Chains A and B, each alone.
Chain A
Amino acid sequence: NAGVTQTPKFRVLKTGQSMTLLCAQDMNHEYMYWYRQDPGMGLRLIHYSVGEGTTAKGEVPDGYNVSRLKKQNFLLGLESAAPSQTSVYFCACRVVSYNEQFFGPGTRLTVL
């Protein structure tokens, strides 16, 4: 039982490159979230999903896209990376009936 895993752990991109971050959970949770964490700003919601095949925008969605083709996976894509997207990205999940969110270990992304 791995809980929430994120791939990759670290990545360095050049401006304009694209990449996809993968979040996988084996907890059978319906809701999944992508947050970014920047120094002094806490975690901010990028996109979220309330179930397989559904996604919606959070507070800071610009420059990101997401997909949830399978219940256990939530993908975060950067089509054209910018230095402002340098951050630590966290995925989280929760069941419908309970508020607690379970977080993955994070992906540290640097855009040069």
Chain B
Amino acid sequence: GENVEQHPSTLSVQEGDSAVIKCTYSDSASNYFPWYKQELGKGPQLIIDIRSNVGEKKDQRIAVTLNKTAKHFSLHITETQPEDSAVYFCAASGADTGRRALTFGSGTRLQVQP
């Protein structure tokens, strides 16, 4: 099955700096790669996603890049703010067309220092 690895496990940045979180996946048939943000005591919430036919996608301060050849994708947050502090999960999906379930990375705890 699919295996997703995520790095780093913790990341601390100063307000206004950029943050980058990286993930690799194992199944070349995966075609959907979402990023979820989880705040304390809440469920994960989708912040951005990308499909395998696109190399980059941007939404205001958030961007995701995908390298299908290398099987890795990254989340970029620019001009970080204290409210960006949360746990971020990457995920991959697509090979198991019957269930379309997500395989998650282990998460990155991002702390933005004011």
Contact residues of A with B, CB < 8 Å?
4, 31, 33, 35, 40-45, 48, 50, 56, 58-59, 90, 92, 94, 99-106
Contact = CB atoms under 8 A, between A and B. Distances in A.
Interface stretch (B54-62, B67-75, B77-85, B101-109): B101-109
Nearest to B4: A42
A35 B34 CA distance: 16
B100 A90 contact: no
Given A50-B99, A94-B100, A105-B43, 15 more contacts: A35-B104, A42-B104, A43-B89, A43-B102, A44-B104, A48-B99, A50-B98, A56-B99, A58-B99, A99-B34, A99-B93, A100-B34, A100-B49, A103-B43, A106-B41
Contacts, number: 60
Interface string B20-64: 000000000000101010000111111001000000000000000
Contacts of A45: 101-103
A89 to B, nearest CB: 10
B104 A103 contact: no
A1 to B, nearest CB: 16
Given A33-B101, A48-B99, A50-B98, A90 B44 contact: yes
B9 A40 contact: yes
B32 A99 contact: yes
19 contacts: A4-B43, A31-B99, A33-B101, A40-B9, A42-B6, A42-B104, A43-B89, A43-B104, A45-B102, A56-B99, A58-B99, A59-B1, A90-B43, A94-B100, A99-B34, A103-B43, A103-B44, A103-B45, A105-B42
A42 B107 contact: yes
Nearest to B6: A42
A36 B46 CA distance: 18
